[in-house]
């Protein structure tokens, strides 16, 4: 199954992507991570990415598509993939459709993980993180210990990240909405989109996603 996973920043998409990898037994394709890895590897494609990225320019769609194509040809992606953070524009969605068509495949499902803005604000602004080990807490749900010592490493630098503010969350959410709505419409016209509420316990959300994929 080839699946696209959408969801605003702070919706818990990363956690659910991992669950989908296990459920569908296909790899997660995160273009951001792949581009960084390729750049580090020093390959020909990586050098091209580097030219654009170090100049602060957007990497052209055709180069990203080359990367996705080579990833899809690898054995573990033969039966499908989970696209995370891609496509971000209608042009990219159309190019991905054409590439999958070449491989005799198509996007089978688009899952849109929906969390209301006020809920994301509550999750993100309540987040605290240990600077030593990265362990995260939430002031209401998983508060840092009273004695101020991190449960994982015993460190005492448990802080709020500077961009975990309501203002930053609102801005990212609006950007996400503006960017992804046309892409969702592209897939919705094909009847592929399933909206899933991302509010509730982890198990509840996972169960909803399972139903939305029609697997298991
Ligand atoms: Zn720690």
Candidates 48, 69, 88, 128; catalytic one? 88
Distance 144 CA to ligand 1 centre (A): 10
Tell me what the pLDDT averaged over the chain comes to. Answer: 93
Q: Is residue 27, in this structure, part of any structural domain at all?
A: yes
Model confidence pLDDT, tens digit, residues 93-124: 999 999 999 999 999 999 999 999 999 999 99
pTM, rounded to two decimals: 0.84
Candidates 47, 161, 170, 190; catalytic one? 161
Q: How far is CA 16 from the centre of its chain?
A: 9
Range of the domain at 100: 2-115+176-213
Q: Is residue 141, in this structure, part of any structural domain at all?
A: no
Has 140 been annotated as catalytic?
no
Question: What percentage of the chain exceeds 90 in pLDDT?
Answer: 81
Q: What angle do CA 186, 191, 194 make, to 5 degrees?
A: 95
Query: In the predicted model, is pLDDT for residue 65 greater than 80?
Result: yes
Question: What percentage of the chain exceeds 70 in pLDDT?
Answer: 100
CA–CA separation, 192 and 111 (whole Å): 8
Q: Is residue 126, in this structure, part of any structural domain at all?
A: no
Distance 113 CA to ligand 1 centre (A): 30
In the chain, how many domains are there? 1
Q: Which two tokens stand for residue 160?
A: 């709020």
Q: Is residue 139, in this structure, part of any structural domain at all?
A: no
Distance 152 CA to ligand 1 centre (A): 5
Distance 161 CA to ligand 1 centre (A): 14
Quick one: pLDDT at residue 85? 82
Window from 12-16, 82-86, 206-210 with minimum mean pLDDT = 12-16
Q: Is residue 125, in this structure, part of any structural domain at all?
A: no
Model confidence pLDDT, tens digit, residues 202-213: 899 999 999 999
What confidence category does residue 216 fall into, taking pLDDT thresholds of 50, 70 and 90?
low
Query: In the predicted model, is pLDDT for residue 58 greater than 90?
Result: no
Candidates 71, 172, 194, 210; catalytic one? 172
Using DSSP bridges, classify how beta strands 2-6 and 28-30 pair: parallel, antiparallel or unpaired.
unpaired
Quick one: pLDDT at residue 72? 94
Quick one: pLDDT at residue 15? 85
Q: How far is CA 37 from the centre of its chain?
A: 16
Q: Is residue 90, in this structure, part of any structural domain at all?
A: yes
Quick one: pLDDT at residue 33? 86
Has 123 been annotated as catalytic?
no
Model confidence pLDDT, tens digit, residues 17-43: 988 999 999 999 988 889 999 999 999
Q: Is residue 72, in this structure, part of any structural domain at all?
A: yes
Has 71 been annotated as catalytic?
no
Has 109 been annotated as catalytic?
no
Quick one: pLDDT at residue 214? 85
180: domain CATH number is 3.40.50.300
Distance 119 CA to ligand 1 centre (A): 26
Quick one: pLDDT at residue 40? 93
Has 177 been annotated as catalytic?
no
3-state secondary structure the chain: CEEEEECCCCCCHHHHHHHHHHHHCCCEEEHHHHHHHHHHHCCHHHHHHHHHHHCCCCCCHHHHHHHHHHHHCCHHHCCCEEEECCCCCHHHHHHHHHHHHHCCCCCCEEEEEECCHHHHHHHHHCEEEECCCCCEEECCCECCCCCCCCCCCCCCCEECCCCCCHHHHHHHHHHHHHHHHHHHHHHHCCCCEEEEECCCCHHHHHHHHHHHHCCC
Q: Is residue 108, in this structure, part of any structural domain at all?
A: yes
């Amino acid at each position: 199954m080839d699946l696209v996973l959408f969801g605003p920043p702070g919706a818990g998409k990363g956690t659910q992507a991992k669950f989908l990898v296990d459920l569908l037994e296909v790899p997660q394709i995160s273009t951001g991570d792949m581009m960084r890895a390729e750049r580090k590897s020093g390959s020909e494609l990586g050098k091209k990415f580097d030219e654009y990225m170090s100049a602060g320019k957007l990497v052209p769609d055709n180069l990203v598509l080359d990367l996705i194509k080579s990833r899809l040809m690898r054995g573990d992606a033969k039966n499908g993939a989970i696209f995370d953070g891609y496509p971000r524009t209608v042009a990219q969605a159309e190019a991905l459709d054409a590439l999958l068509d070449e491989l005799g495949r198509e996007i089978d499902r688009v899952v849109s993980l929906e969390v209301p803005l006020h809920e994301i604000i509550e999750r993100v602004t309540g987040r605290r993180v240990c600077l030593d080990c990265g362990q995260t807490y939430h002031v209401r749900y998983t508060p840092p210990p009273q004695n101020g010592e991190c449960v994982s490493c015993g460190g005492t630098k448990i802080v709020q990240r500077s961009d975990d503010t309501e203002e930053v969350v609102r801005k990212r959410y609006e950007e996400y909405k503006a960017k992804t709505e046309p892409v969702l419409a592209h897939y919705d016209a094909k009847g592929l989109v399933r909206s899933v509420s991302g509010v509730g316990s982890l198990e509840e959300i996972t169960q909803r996603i399972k139903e939305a994929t029609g697997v298991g």
